[in-house]
Structure 1
Amino acid sequence: MARVSLEDLRKVAAPVDRAKIDATTEEDIRRHMIEDGEDPDAEPTGYRLVWPIAAIRSRLGMTQSVFADALGVPVATLRNWEQGRTQPDPAALALLRIVEREPEAAFRALGVAYRAPAERQG
């Protein structure tokens, strides 16, 4: 297999027909799905929506320091997760999913005092 440098790859134009993409309508996409045997009205399956960790933290109204402390991880670890330098392990991902869906219950189980942002404003 021939080796090609990243620099060489960047010099080659991608074989993408932008005009064709721009001209494609939702009806075209629907028609192609039907032709391919797919149901365009079916709910997509086989994926799970993952909220960016910084978005979860922001929605909870917490600083990096407070959120990291609540999760029991170093602030540097949280920063690395948020900036995409490292990925949380499966246990941390499970905890983050629980915190995202049920923050009050998650923090109560962790023994962390938490009030939703709307409650803080009153």
Structure 2
Amino acid sequence: MVNLMRILLVIIGTISLILGIVGIFLPLLPTTPFLLLSAALYFKSSPKLYDWLLGQKHLGPYIRNFREKKAIPLRAKIISITLMWGSMLYCVAYLVPIIWIKFLLIAIAIGVTYHILSYRTLKK
């Protein structure tokens, strides 16, 4: 039973990691929560995978900084907000014909922007 639970946690952690990586490129898919979930699940199920994740060149420092300092690097803030607003404005202007959905997308973009900016900016 314990091995089955560990396998399940590794599988969910891996799915979360994939979603986190995809979230880097898709503005509405959150990256940080998925990466933090992956780290937590790997910590519980596989120290080897946990060490591997934190040792990754790009993801490891991002996870450690957020977990330890509750801060996001300025570059990550700028990129994520710019990509999100670009995608949202494109959708509102060209793809979505229904006015209330346009307002909903703008409201989501404002909320996500506020959420991202609410975290401290990591100083290098």
Q: Which has the higher strand share?
A: 2
**For the superposition of Structure 1 and Structure 2, which TM-score range results when normalised by the shorter chain?**
under 0.3
Higher fraction of helix: 2
User: Which of the two has higher C-alpha Rg?
Assistant: 1
Normalised by the size of structure 1, how large is the TM-score? 0.22
**Structure number with higher relative contact order (C-alpha < 8 Å, ≥ 6 residues apart):** 2
